């Protein structure tokens, strides 16, 4: 099955490896990490060989549609968001067709477990007390429910929803400030700054990789000519 999986995504990985060889092997490590994650997922869900093929094909389709959607300059932000929502719904339906009921249930449990681990890591970094953990978890649940209701509200226009969302964020920020100590608030701000810097670094790295790839392809086309 390993050979079959490589046959599906191998061409893209090989081309990527050649294009990014001068980039310190970052792309190679990234692809290896993705492959390892897929193998772990396959094992935990006990996917059949056929399911693995379908799963990979669905993931490839999602990436291609997502990339095309991001690059579509004819759509505004709201239109892209609506398209993205429809894409997620479509992908979820297709995933349900691939997986058995037991596998779907297992996948939900895995997602929940992952979310719990993220929360535990967050709580550890801020050194939250048990009482604070309960309060923060409750606040997060409240935010998700309010956000979901707001998105589903058909009677409100774009600007009204934006205003409501802004008010929701402000309210959540104030409630969080009541839960955390001054030191914890300061730590949270530092964590957010680090996250922003990390995200910017990823974007910059991706742009650099894309630029290097274009250069390599230009060299190759010149040699062919």
Q: pLDDT tens, 49-83?
A: 999 999 899 989 998 998 888 888 888 888 888 88
Task: Write down the H helix ranges in 129-157.
Answer: 130-152
- Among positive and negative, which fits the CA dihedral 45, 49, 54, 58? positive
What tokens appear for 216 in the block?
Answer: 């390599």
How many structural domains are present in the chain?
A: 1
Q: Is residue 31 part of a domain?
A: no
Q: Is residue 207 part of a domain?
A: yes
Q: Is residue 210 part of a domain?
A: yes
- The rounded distance, in Å, linking the Cα atoms of 66 and 87 is 8
Angle, to 10 degrees, between the axis of helix 101-126 and the axis of helix 26-45? 130
Q: Is residue 116 part of a domain?
A: no
Q: pTM of the predicted model, to two decimals?
A: 0.62
- In this prediction, residue 222 carries a pLDDT of 43
Q: Is residue 5 part of a domain?
A: no
Q: Is residue 205 part of a domain?
A: yes
Count CB neighbours of 20 within 10 A: 20
- In this prediction, residue 28 carries a pLDDT of 61
Q: Is residue 54 part of a domain?
A: no
Q: How far is CA 136 from CA 11, 110, 111, 143, in A?
A: 46, 22, 19, 10
- In this prediction, residue 151 carries a pLDDT of 81
More confident residue, 59 or 13: 59
Q: pLDDT tens, 184-217?
A: 999 999 998 988 887 777 666 555 555 555 555 5
Chain centroid offset of residue 47 CA: 22
Torsion of CA 45, 119, 137, 103, to 10 degrees: 0
Q: Is residue 220 part of a domain?
A: yes
Q: Find the domain containing 203 and state its range.
A: 193-225
- In this prediction, residue 106 carries a pLDDT of 94
């Amino acid at each position: 099955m390993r050979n079959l999986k490589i046959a599906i995504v191998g061409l893209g990985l090989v081309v990527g490896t050649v294009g990014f060889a001068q980039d310190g092997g970052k792309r190679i490590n990234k692809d290896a990490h993705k492959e390892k994650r897929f193998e772990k997922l396959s094992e935990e869900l006990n996917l059949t060989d056929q399911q693995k093929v379908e799963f990979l094909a669905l993931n490839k389709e999602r990436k291609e549609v997502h990339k095309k959607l991001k690059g579509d300059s004819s759509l505004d932000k709201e239109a892209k968001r609506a398209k993205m929502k429809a894409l997620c719904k479509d992908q979820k339906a297709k995933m349900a067709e691939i997986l058995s009921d037991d596998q779907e249930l297992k996948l939900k449990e895995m997602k929940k477990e992952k979310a719990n681990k993220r929360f535990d890591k967050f709580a550890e970094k801020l050194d939250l007390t048990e009482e604070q953990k309960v309060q923060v978890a409750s606040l997060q649940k409240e935010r998700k429910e309010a956000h979901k209701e707001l998105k589903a509200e058909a009677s409100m226009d774009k600007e009204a929803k934006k205003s409501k969302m802004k008010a929701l964020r402000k309210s959540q920020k104030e409630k969080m400030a009541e839960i955390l100590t001054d030191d914890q608030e300061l730590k949270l701000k530092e964590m957010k700054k680090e996250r922003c810097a990390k995200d910017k670094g990823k974007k910059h790295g991706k742009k650099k990789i894309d630029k290097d790839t274009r250069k390599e392809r230009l060299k190759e086309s010149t040699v062919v000519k």
